[in-house]
Homo-oligomer: A and B are copies of this chain.
């Protein structure tokens, strides 16, 4: 098997945040697979086959990428942000586990700038101290586990990056998450809504969590709940390095 499979992260949106390593992999690829809006970010060129697919097709897409690589092609499967954070890398390894004949396939994972880092950079440094990242989608895990993690994260006084806070088919989850965080005593913490970060539609909103409303989060929003020690200076939000 001379084919290769590269699992690459395109960063949050801005082409200036695509690493040279990922750009080189895309320049060498024969096939690029991914969720359609991410494949649309890959420059078309002669000899490159683009395979856009729907959201929630992760496992099928991963299997197709493995199959093409096994046929000898140079395959790149793209995610937004970092491929290892709530993205395609885990799906590829899940598909690989189900295909023992492909375990020797040449696979690489190329990291990228995940959304929480770009959102934090726009806001200041809210992730400058210990933090966690929680995916609010309950497609793949039970809601009580999400609530438990939010409560424990609040108790640990982690800054909390919330991925996928809200989607059309689960509008109520983020409202419940805000309630859980208020009940856990986080109403005085700062919350940051980073919409479409690093794209032309970027918009950053910062307020006390007590003032946050569920509809402030949309499909393209990354939410950061700052830790309790977080401070404001001018338009910036930062987590102090020293805590007692």
A86 at the interface (CB under 8 A from B): yes
Q: What is the bound-complex CA distance between A107 and B238, given in angstroms?
A: 14
| A128 adjacent to B86 (CB under 8 Å) | yes
- Which single member of B89, B93, B130 contacts A133 (CB below 8 Å)? B130
Given A14-B21, A149-B158, check contact A236 B107 (CB 8 Å): yes
Quick one: which of A86-127 are within 8 Å of B by CB? 86-87, 89-94, 96-97, 103-104, 107, 109-114, 117-118, 120-122, 124-127
Q: Copies of this chain, how many?
A: 2
Bound: A153/B128 CA distance, A: 18
A132 within 8 A of B: yes
Minimal beta-carbon separation of A181 from chain B (angstroms): 14
Q: Does A58 contact B (CB under 8 A)?
A: yes
- A117 CA / B1 CA spacing, docked (Å): 28
Q: A220: shortest Cβ distance to chain B, in Å? A: 17
Other-chain residue from B58, B85, B148, B239 in contact with A90 (beta carbon distance below 8 A): B239
State the main secondary structure of chain A at its contact with B: mixed
| Known interface pairs A132-B130, A149-B158; A103-B11 also in contact (CB < 8 Å) | no
CA A158 – CA B156 in complex, angstroms?
12
Inter-chain contact A121/B111, CB cutoff 8 Å: yes
Contact A90 B241 (CB under 8 A): yes
A234 close to chain B: CB less than 8 A: yes
Chain A interface size, as a band, is: 35 or more
Stretch from A34-42, A134-142, A172-180, A184-192 contacting the other chain: A134-142
> For residue A242, which residue of chain B has the nearest CB?
B140
Q: Are B145 and A243 in contact (CB under 8 A)?
A: yes
A244 vs B128: C-alpha distance when bound (angstroms): 32
Contact residues in B for A112 (Cβ distance below 8 Å): 113, 117
Residues of B within 8 A of A107 (CB): 236
Inter-chain contact B134/A94, CB cutoff 8 Å = no
Q: Which residues of A come within 8 Å of B, CB atoms?
A: 11, 14-21, 24, 58, 82-87, 89-94, 96-97, 103-104, 107, 109-114, 117-118, 120-122, 124-135, 140-142, 145, 148-149, 152-153, 155-158, 231, 233-234, 236, 238-244
Q: Given contacts A111-B117, A129-B141, A130-B134, could you give 16 more A-B pairs where the C-beta distance is less than 8 Å? A: A14-B21, A17-B111, A84-B124, A84-B127, A90-B238, A90-B240, A93-B124, A93-B238, A97-B231, A109-B120, A131-B132, A132-B153, A140-B242, A145-B243, A148-B156, A152-B156
